[in-house]
Structure 1
Amino acid sequence: MRVPKAGAMAVVFGLALTATGCGGDEGPQGTLSIGIKFDQPGVGLRETGGVFSGFDVDVATYIAKELGYKPEQIEFKKVDSSDRELLLQYNEVKFVAASYSISDKRKEKVDFAGPYFTAHQDLLVRADDNTITKAEDLNNRKLCSVSGSTSASNVKEKLAPKASLLELGGYSECVIALQDGQADAMTTDNSILAGYAAQKANAGKFKLVGLSLSNESYGIGVKKGNKELVEKINAALKKMVADGSWDAAVKKNFGPAYRSEPAPQITTGS
């Protein structure tokens, strides 16, 4: 059936309204997939019942809001340290907020927004232990970290060569070993350590020594070449700091064990 010219124009106009006008004031349609860690209390955690919590979750949710997405449009996807680049390259997620340290090697494969947080390698000890105040105090003591951890190697090789390493499958296992006296300290980024110390079940049991054995700048990873998204995320991060939401998220997720410091200056993008 031939559609009259005026009718055809109406059809085209109607389709245009459907594609762009409908919901134009409601933000983007569909879901926004974001990669986070599922097993880091205080940073990125999938709790019982499917609720997500942590500083990275709060940062990602804030960014999503600034991009026009409602909370119900966000789909959090689990990422491991080894597959963050792949998920971005194959468009499985739009961006990654997962204690993702910016490095020159990683920038060869992905682009970064931020940094939005500076983490430092630290030690977590029992709250009543006043004998460990520096890394060197771990000589002839037992240090726990996850298998293959560069954090543990950093301490063992450079600072406490006589330390005994206890390598376990996950940080949660190290926390249990520390609580039970099978380890004297555990080490990784202070953000992760503070997250464990801030859990209700661990209230008053642990403390951070307060060291800065390394500096890790956490960034938001995006697919290589997506400069526009980098700039939008950077704008969202700046707004989050300016309106106080960043400070509130730090206090909520890391608790009293964390020694707060200002948000880092954004160095990525134009």
Structure 2
Amino acid sequence: MSQSSGGPHGPGGNQGAHNRGGPPPMPNTPPTVGMPRVPARRRSPLLIGGVLVVILALAAVLTVVLLRDTGKGDDEGRTTVASSATPSAAPSATASANTPSTPGSSPSPAATTPPGPGASPAAASALQRAKDRGYLVIGAKEDQPWLGALDPATGKRWGFDIEMARVIAAKLGFDPGAARFKTVDSVHREDALQYGEIDFYIGTYAITDRRKQNVSFAGPYFVTGQSVLVRSAETAITGVNATLNGRKVCGVTGTSPEQYLKTNFPQAQTIGRPSYVACVQDLLDGRVDAVSTDDAILKGYAASLRGRTKVVGPAVTTEKYGVGIAHDDTALRDAVNDAIEQVLADGTWWRIYDRTLGAADAPDPVVPRVERY
């Protein structure tokens, strides 16, 4: 099939009618000598001028289209950079071209696309992003009775940390329905904060200098310490001490208690698990001999298991739970610190404790004080 490069009337555009019955016969002999030649048809200057005008017009249109496509490609490239996980966006090509460069002067800032889901929180405060979208995304646990738990039958969350998160959200100016929770395991919480998957994290998140290198903290909002949970019939293990040597002790991977066991009790066999539910189930099934973490968590499990387990020994550390926030997001950190101080001052903190962790048979905790830095 013949192709036409110039449309129905371009080269080859009219060949179909002639080719349908084959080409017309050509003479087999040259013209007889002496026959007058037929002069070639002279082309009108007006026709030639019209063709030139059409060619120039087509060239102009093609130039505009090419320039438009090039500009679109640059814009799309800048949008991709601005909405990626890279904190800084590439400068505008247009701004760079139109703004003269002066030695010692800074280039004009380019307009950038606001960070989307997964963008680096350093680009803007999570508080402002939450206000723009109309709700907060709060990272939390779902497997810690009396602290951060999720009822699988109703889908409702409950516990001290959950209630604190809701009160903090209210004091930040959000309606009750605008606090949306997302379950985040301990090993993934720093990534979730750094990449903007959540606005803040509240879930027995101990404040440490090592973690401050990657994330920021507001609070503390609760003070606890590391202890150990054993089966009710256990008598040999008396606490977080040398009685753990040679025994299997479960801790959640990536947490401070797990690191404490590995550092201070290397002769104990530390078993890392993804959640406290898994650790406690291993304890009940006899796969481990103890579970070690903060006593606030362990007391919640002991109360829920109704005499099948017990917490032994005094707390050997001081753990301060903070609200995890993206590193250098001072706007959100200051706002959450203000909210926690209000909760402590107006009696809300004790009311939350009494209806959650206060249900366990345990001494009252130490009331925290916000530590700003």
Shorter-chain TM range is 0.7 to 0.9
Inter-CA distance 142–244: structure 2 relative to 1 (3 Å threshold):
same
1:4 equivalent in structure 2: none
Distance 1:106 1:56 in 2: 20
Alpha-carbon distance in 1 for matches of 2:236, 2:331? 50
Q: Percent identity?
A: 38
* Structure with the larger strand share: 1
Structure 2 residue 369 is the aligned partner of structure 1 residue 261: no
C-alpha distance in 1 between matches for 2:146 and 2:155: 16
User: How far apart are 1:144 and its partner, in Å?
Assistant: 3.1
1:58 paired residue number: 163
Q: Which residue of 2 aligns with 1:126?
A: 231
Aligned to 2:279, the other structure's residue is in SS state helix
Write the mapping of 1:124-203 to structure 2, written as runs, cut at 5 A: 124-134=229-239, 135-146=241-252, 151-152=257-258, 154-155=260-261, 158-159=264-265, 161=267, 163-199=268-304, 202-203=305-306
| CA–CA distance in structure 1, aligned partners of residues 250 and 215 of structure 2 | 31
Equivalences for 1:167-246 in 2 at 5 Å?
167-199=272-304, 202-246=305-349
Per the alignment, residue 44 of structure 1 pairs with 148
- Rg larger in structure: 2
Given candidates 34, 38, 47, the residue that maps to 2:138 is 34
Residues 168/76 of structure 1: CA separation in 2 closer, same or farther (3 Å cut): closer
- The offset of 1:130, in angstroms, is 4.6
Task: Provide the alpha-carbon RMSD of the alignment.
Answer: 2.8
Specify the alignment match of 2:217 in structure 1.
112
The correspondence of residues 59-74 of structure 1 with structure 2, limited to 5 A, is 59-74=164-179
TM-score by length of 2: 0.56
Is the partner of 2:356 in helix, strand or coil? helix
User: 2 CA distance for matches of 1:205 and 1:121?
Assistant: 20
> Counterpart of 2:204 in structure 1: which amino acid?
S
Q: What is residue 19 of structure 1 aligned with on the other side?
A: none
SS at 2:222's partner residue?
strand
Given the alignment of the two structures, is residue 98 of structure 1 paired with residue 200 of structure 2, yes or no? no
2:187–2:253 contact (8 Å) kept in structure 1: no
Deviations, residues 85-133 of structure 1 (Å, cap 9, x unaligned): 3333333322211222222232233322111112311101233545433
Displacement after TM superposition at 1:213 (Å)? 2.5
In 2, are the aligned partners of 1:121 and 1:214 still within 8 Å (CA)? yes
Whole-Å Cα distance in 2 between the matches of residues 132 and 51 of structure 1?
36
TM-score, structure 1 as length reference: 0.75
Q: SS of the counterpart of 1:82?
A: helix
Q: CA deviation at 1:210?
A: 4.1
Contact 2:219 2:322 in 1 (8 A): yes
2:82 alignment counterpart: none
What's the CA shift string for 1:57-90, capped at 9, x where partnerless? Answer: 1111110111121211111122222332333333
Change (3 A) 1:190 1:31: same
Residue correspondences, number: 240
Listed as ranges, the gaps of 5+ residues in structure 1 are 1-26
The answer (yes or no) to whether the contact 2:230–2:312 under 8 Å persists in 1 is: yes
Residue among 67, 84, 87 paired with 2:189: 84
Shift of 1:182: 4.3
Once structures 1 and 2 are overlaid, which stretch shifts more, 172-181 or 232-241?
Answer: 172-181
Q: Which has the higher contact order (CA 8 A, sep 6+)?
A: 1
The one-letter code matched in structure 2 to 1:191 is A
CA-CA distance at 1:172 after TM superposition: 1.9
CA distance in 2 between partners of 1:152 and 1:109 (Å): 19
Report the secondary structure of 1:220's partner residue. Answer: strand
C-alpha deviation, 1:164, in angstroms: 4.7
Q: Bigger CA drift: 108-117 or 205-214?
A: 205-214
